[in-house]
Amino acid sequence: MKNELETKVTTPLHKEFRNLLDQDFKDRKLKENEVINATVTEITKNFVVVDCKAKMEGMIPVDEFKANDELSKLSVGSKIEVFLERIESFRGEIIISRDKARKIKAWRKIEKIFDTQEEMTGYITGKVKGGFITSVEGLPCFMPSSQIDVKPLKKIDHLLNTPIKVLATRIDKNRGNVCVSRRAVLEKSKNAVISQALKNINEGDIIENAIVKATTDWGIFLDINGLDALLHVSDLSHGRVKKPSDLVTIGQKLKVKITKIDQKTNRVSASIKALTEDPYESIDKKYKVGEIYEGLVTKIMDYGCFVRIEDGLEGLIHNSELDWTNRNIKPSKILSVSQKIKFKIVNIDKETKRISLSYKALLPNPWDVIKDKIGHEVKIKINNITDKAIFGELEEFRLTGMLHYKEISYEENIEDLKKFKKNEIINVKIIEIKDDKIKFSKRFLEKDPLEWFKDNNKKVGDVVTTRVHEVLKVGVKVSIDKDKKLIVLIKKNDLAKELSDARPEVFSPGNALDAKITELDIKLRRIKLSVKAAQIDDEKSLIAKFGEGATKSGATLKGIFEKAMGKKKNK
């Protein structure tokens, strides 16, 4: 059988046919991985058969012709471009692709027009993470969600599988990726229209029929003969505007003045307040600092209240100017929006366009009245007790003052704070008012124990007889007066001249002690007594009286003291 086949192939006729066929294929010069031309020879249910001038016809699945409805346009004899992957596979078949040829052609076209930014037709075929798949000339491209329109779209159903104009915004040759944008086409078209429209208006023009398109908290968007313009909230009025939506409605026509045209960004700014005179220019003629006027409360903030003096002119009443007794009071507790009030102008600053007002200036000032109460006894209600003081309110004046623990009693004992409770009403004396601060004293309601020195004409250098009140390790507390209100500590080193006798434990409560006043400052409340100093003075006095004769007769100092004290010698 093998010999028969070899005989048939090697016949002169077959040899001639094979030589002609090889010569024909040699002239065709087919190369793999290239786009070649092919002719449709047959269209079946599943394949499109084409002649590529190869050894055999190629078969392409009909699915590769569904893009742009290409299959319906094909017929036998149609010329198409295909991508030659392999001239001959292991089965002896030619491998070609219409889809790859289309993508290569599209890629080459996009590369050419990328720099020139020509518009291309594309079809949105599906949604992926972050954007959409868009087919351009059969090449799948990526369109980010932000590039589908100039404004966010809730639905894109009307754009699916319909021809749209796009621009290539980025090409990655290494990865074979292309990003396209429909928004760029829309903005390009819009900018062209805007550039033409901008030629018809100039800065300073007055527009009679600017239409309100939309409102925000910071301004109003207008339509001026097809142009978008911004009317900022600060350009609505010379006064304060809370919400632009409170002043206008969508579709309303406004009279505005063109204040700025930015040729680079094609942005137009408009103003209403530019059509009227700035009230601050003539404010000095209408309003004077220190005068009283009437206005309407328009806004209440945490730091104060805004008051409309006239249209386009507002002033601020700061918290500190609302109430005499509370500088940090909440404005809502004093005033309310739409309330008519009288006020005094405190300051006018034309440069910053700020007017400071005062509401409390028209109210009675309790500080003027309370100044006459210095040195008087008053009642206060305890509001708070801290580590070192009591804070109480003069309910009649709604003013709060401080009672320091040293002003509770003349003993200046911090433990005295524990004797009082919150909301308790006590009697005190006002001793000082300075910088809107009041100081109280409770001990000043009683006679100062230090007055004893004045009453008894005692001064530094005098000797007083005291009684031991309490014995301590550091010394002895003694009472000077009979009522035991004047207690003074005599330190250990001042108890006796001799160190061996200066021991507190040898004394008992009730013992009499003569002590010398070595320091007395009633203002600073400083008192210092010394038994030692009194003994030294007594010694000097005795020596001065008996010392000269006693020295000549050989008498001892002990004998002199005993004689002076009226004691007898023991025989």
| pLDDT single digits (tens) 174-193 | 777 888 999 988 888 777 77
Q: What's the confidence (pLDDT) of residue 56?
A: 75
Does residue 568 sit in helix, strand or coil?
coil
Please say whether the dihedral angle defined by the alpha carbons of residues 36, 42, 43 and 47, taken in this order, is positive or negative.
negative
Count of H helices and E strands in the chain? 9, 30
Average pLDDT over residues 203-228: 86
For residue 342, name the pLDDT band (cuts at 50, 70, 90): very high
Reported in sequence order, the residue ranges of 129-162 that DSSP labels E, i.e. its strands, are 131-136, 139-144
CB 496 within 8 A of CB 531: yes
CB 286 within 8 A of CB 313: no
Q: What's the confidence (pLDDT) of residue 23?
A: 60
3-class SS shares of the chain: helix, strand, coil, % to 5:
30, 35, 35
What would the pLDDT profile of 259-306 be if each residue is shown by its tens digit?
888 877 778 888 888 888 888 888 888 899 999 999 999 889 999 999
Q: What's the confidence (pLDDT) of residue 57?
A: 80
Residue 191, H or E segment: helix 183-198
**What is the C-alpha to C-alpha distance for residues 143 and 131, in angstroms, rounded to an integer?**
6
Which carries the bigger pLDDT value, residue 2 or residue 172? 172
**Could you give phi then psi for residue 106, rounded to 5 degrees?**
-65, -40
For residue 547, name the pLDDT band (cuts at 50, 70, 90): low
Amino acid at 458: K
What would the pLDDT profile of 44-57 be if each residue is shown by its tens digit?
888 888 888 777 78
Amino acid at 327: R
Residue 391 DSSP symbol: E
Would you mind telling me the total number of residues written for the chain in this entry? Answer: 571
Q: What's the confidence (pLDDT) of residue 307?
A: 93
Beta bridge partners of 210: 254
∠ CA 297-298-304, rounded to 5°: 70
∠ CA 16-19-21, rounded to 5°: 110
Cβ neighbors of 100 (< 8 A, separation 6 or more) are 83, 85
Residue 235 DSSP symbol: G
What would the pLDDT profile of 89-144 be if each residue is shown by its tens digit?
667 678 888 778 877 777 777 877 777 788 888 889 889 998 999 888 777 889 99
**Could you give phi then psi for residue 245, rounded to 5 degrees?**
-65, -20
Cβ neighbors of 526 (< 8 A, separation 6 or more) are 519, 520
* Buried/exposed code over 486-518 (b: 16+ C-beta within 10 A; e: otherwise): bbbbbbbebbeeeeeebebeebeeeeebebbbe
**What is the C-alpha to C-alpha distance for residues 178 and 160, in angstroms, rounded to an integer?**
19
Q: What's the confidence (pLDDT) of residue 47?
A: 85
For residue 335, name the pLDDT band (cuts at 50, 70, 90): very high
Average pLDDT over residues 422-449: 90
For residue 27, name the pLDDT band (cuts at 50, 70, 90): low
Average pLDDT over residues 229-249: 81
In the β-sheet with 47-51, what is the strand arrangement from edge to edge?
58-61, 47-51, 34-43, 79-86, 95-97
Is 462's pLDDT higher than 60?
A: yes
Question: Which residue in 134, 139, 62, 73 sits closest to 105, CA to CA?
Answer: 139
Average pLDDT, the chain: 82
Instruction: Give the pairing of strands 526-530 and 206-216.
Output: unpaired
Chain CA centroid to CA 210, Å: 37
**What is the C-alpha to C-alpha distance for residues 278 and 284, in angstroms, rounded to an integer?**
12
Q: 95-99, 107-111, 392-396, 549-553: which range is least confident on average? A: 549-553
Q: 185-199, 328-342, 526-540: which range is least confident on average? A: 185-199
**pLDDT-above-90 percentage for the chain:** 20
Is 5's pLDDT higher than 50?
A: no
Measured CA distances, 328 to 255, 318, 322, 323, 331 (Å): 43, 9, 9, 9, 9
Amino acid at 570: N
Q: How buried is residue 143: exposed, middle or buried, by Cβ count under 10 Å (0-12/13-18/19+)?
A: buried
Q: What's the confidence (pLDDT) of residue 418?
A: 92
CB 15 within 8 A of CB 50: no
Average pLDDT over residues 500-517: 87
Instruction: Give the pairing of strands 206-216 and 227-232.
Output: unpaired
- Dihedral over alpha carbons 284, 288, 294, 297 (to 10 degrees): 70
**What is the C-alpha to C-alpha distance for residues 382 and 367, in angstroms, rounded to an integer?**
20
**What is the C-alpha to C-alpha distance for residues 363 and 372, in angstroms, rounded to an integer?**
18
**What is the C-alpha to C-alpha distance for residues 523 and 455, in angstroms, rounded to an integer?**
16
Does residue 210 sit in helix, strand or coil?
strand
Tokens of 393: 């309110």
Q: 74-78, 223-227, 565-569: which range is least confident on average? A: 565-569
Question: Which residue in 518, 397, 374, 512 sits closest to 444, CA to CA?
Answer: 374
Average pLDDT over residues 414-433: 92
Q: How buried is residue 12: exposed, middle or buried, by Cβ count under 10 Å (0-12/13-18/19+)?
A: exposed
Please say whether the dihedral angle defined by the alpha carbons of residues 331, 336, 338 and 343, taken in this order, is positive or negative.
negative
Cβ neighbors of 240 (< 8 A, separation 6 or more) are 298, 299, 306, 314
Is 433's pLDDT higher than 70?
A: yes
Instruction: Give the pairing of strands 267-271 and 292-301.
Output: unpaired
Residue 321 DSSP symbol: G
Q: Which of 11-15, 98-102, 337-341, 494-498 has the highest mean pLDDT?
A: 337-341
For residue 454, name the pLDDT band (cuts at 50, 70, 90): confident
Report all structural domains of the chain as residue ranges with CATH numbers, in order of start: 24-116 (2.40.50.140), 117-188 (2.40.50.140), 200-275 (2.40.50.140), 289-362 (2.40.50.140), 366-445 (2.40.50.140), 447-571 (2.40.50.140)
Is 210's pLDDT higher than 80?
A: yes
